[in-house]
Structure 1
Amino acid sequence: MTLSLPLLASAALVAGLMGFPPVGAPTTEHRQQAASAVHPLRPAGEPAAGAVAPSGDDVVEHVAARSPSDQRRVLDYWTPRRMAAAVPIGLLGAATGLLGRPDAPARRQAARTGGARWTAGGAVTRTTGRVFLTLGGLDFVCSASSVKSANRDLVVTAGHCVKDGTGAWADNWTFVPGYDRGGQPYGQFAARRMFVAGPWSRSADDSYDIGMVALNARGGRHLEEVVGGQDIAFDAPRGRPAHSFGFPAEPPYDGEHLIYCAGPVHPDPHDQTGDQGMRCDMTAGSSGGPWLSGFDAVTGRGAITSVSSFKYSDDRATMYGPYFGGTARELYTTAESS
């Protein structure tokens, strides 16, 4: 049995509250916050803040900071000190919730194999950003990308950067596009609604480790008006080369610069997921960063066809990302209409 290690383990894992079975096996339900319980859709009007509702045939939604006071609370929360102190969840991977379990997935980070700092500029430097979030009372970082959408406010990231598998939703979720060495040239955007695929919410299925977040406007301007958005593609031919981007924050990286890997992708050789793999050394903090197919290094544009998700313990040189098929399309269609 080959063990997998997500680029970010869950906050419940960090707290030692749960263990994980082998990839592909059903997970055991564990403690959820009251706000994370799934409720029926209301007959009219918007769900209350914190409510969760099924949004499509296989999409689960969480309402985040919708009111001006909620938005201000989130934006005020992320002081420079808190941002500097936030860590990739993978830094705490050897948690007590896994110790002594021979069948539990290893949660340590990958060894180095060849990511590089992106210095060519282009749209990708604006559309890719860092995510700051709170899970289980701890502050963490991820990566995400602005994507073209009907609501002009949408980012795509990993499911585990939005919801702790079958457990809690993230709080204080904030996107900082164009982040560089602490700089925030386009400001911060607080989440207003979060979406994950049903299989991720029900069983933390790595094949569906996809999250999409609709953001609040900033100063009356939508995210896409400020930084633009990448294209997104579904059911693309498998095996196409891609560029992956993110903000890895474990050594040898520090989370302060946009890093990329590029090359061919291949199927999961262990047949435990429907994901595709790419040779890449990015570490924790890069979770949720976009994989761009058909990428043009001059313009910095491509089509998002996956996001960084996990690595296997016996192949720490390869990063895996979920294939964007029908479920990802449904997730996007629901989220862009929110």
Structure 2
Amino acid sequence: MIDRTLRRRTVRITAAMAAMAALLSVDLPAATASAGAGRTAPAPPGETADRVGALFAGGLDGGHFCTASVVQSAGRDLIATAAHCLGDDVSGTVFVPGYRDGTAPYGIWQLTGASVDPAWRRAQDPDADLAFATVAPVGGRAVQDVVGGFPVVTDRPDGAEVTVLGYPSDRETPLTCTHTAELWSDTQRRIACPDLGGGTSGSPWLVDGALAGVLGGHEGGGTVPDVSYSAVMGPAARNLYRSAGGEVTASGAG
């Protein structure tokens, strides 16, 4: 299988993992298979894609292992990703918004700190698989001033249309898919989108242009590349975002 719970130390997909993916890709949950799937395609450059980037271990030659996105904050320096993408020390991790084909069109941004739910730190609770991280300025400018930032919303209704945008570890350009998400449990949502394999952990789940979740949660985001999960963003996520320097509006307008 393609393991979407890749950490900083496992930045490259091995041939063995790829072979396992071919063997297990047919093992899709029956409920999702019957619901149909969205269409996954390359994400063109533009305002939305440019706010999403890849996380690298040290620099562009270190391999990208997860996805993150810029979100609105008072300090204009905040990104969102999955908690399982970040270790206790983020000083060796960089964020590259708009990354394509080995280039960093908007710069390379050093992570300076992370906010993670205590439930994740204690027991890696999949319902708390969300993190916010700050990045240092580049050339005297904050990352949100360069590419903008997504509003963050919580308590989105079940069955919302979601756009997922992220970077598989074996690709040098991002993929995107839009489909209706379904409630898998009281605390987890899932979406049927092909080819969102390892490296897409932390990808934003966008509802009406606002971040309403990140790829992660149950099974680290899913054990097959055609079904992805996100923890439902409720009061705990709202508090985490506010403590990191953001502000959620009840209306979801951002």
User: Cα 1:224–1:124, aligned 2, differ >3 Å: closer, same or farther?
Assistant: same
1:91–1:284: 8 Å Cα contact kept in structure 2?
Answer: no
Q: Please say if 1:303 is aligned against 2:210.
A: yes
Choose which of 99, 123, 126 in structure 1 pairs with 2:47. Answer: 123
The answer for the alignment partner of 2:249 in structure 1 is none
1:110–1:311: 8 Å Cα contact kept in structure 2?
Answer: no
Q: Please say if 1:278 is aligned against 2:191.
A: yes
C-alpha distance in structure 1 between counterparts of 2:136 and 2:51, whole Å: 16
User: Tell me, what secondary structure is at the counterpart of 1:146?
Assistant: strand
Counterpart of 2:67, as a letter, is S
Percent identical among aligned pairs is 28
1:292–1:303: 8 Å Cα contact kept in structure 2?
Answer: yes
1:291–1:305: 8 Å Cα contact kept in structure 2?
Answer: yes
Aligned-pair CA distance for 1:275: 1.3
The answer for the alignment partner of 2:181 in structure 1 is 265
Counterpart of 2:103, as a letter, is G
Query: Structure 1 unaligned runs (5+)?
Result: 15-85, 95-105, 295-301
Aligned-pair CA distance for 1:92: 7.6
C-alpha distance in structure 1 between counterparts of 2:6 and 2:142, whole Å: 31
Aligned length: 227
User: Cα 1:170–1:110, aligned 2, differ >3 Å: closer, same or farther?
Assistant: farther
Choose which of 138, 146, 155 in structure 2 pairs with 1:218. Answer: 138
C-alpha distance in structure 2 between counterparts of 1:333 and 1:155, whole Å: 13
C-alpha distance in structure 2 between counterparts of 1:148 and 1:228, whole Å: 8
Runs of 4+ deviating beyond 3 Å: 9-12, 90-94, 106-114, 168-171, 310-313
TM-score normalized by structure 2? 0.79
C-alpha distance in structure 2 between counterparts of 1:155 and 1:213, whole Å: 5
Which has the larger Rg? 1
Aligned-pair CA distance for 1:255: 2.4
Question: Aligned-pair RMSD on alpha carbons?
Answer: 3.0
Choose which of 186, 203, 218 in structure 2 pairs with 1:289. Answer: 203
TM-score normalized by structure 1? 0.60
2:215–2:221: 8 Å Cα contact kept in structure 1?
Answer: no
C-alpha distance in structure 1 between counterparts of 2:23 and 2:189, whole Å: 18
The superposition leaves residues 44-100 of structure 1 with CA deviations (integer Å, 9 ceiling, x where unpaired) of xxxxxxxxxxxxxxxxxxxxxxxxxxxxxxxxxxxxxxxxxx425x87869xxxxxx
C-alpha distance in structure 1 between counterparts of 2:107 and 2:3, whole Å: 29
Q: Please say if 1:206 is aligned against 2:131.
A: no
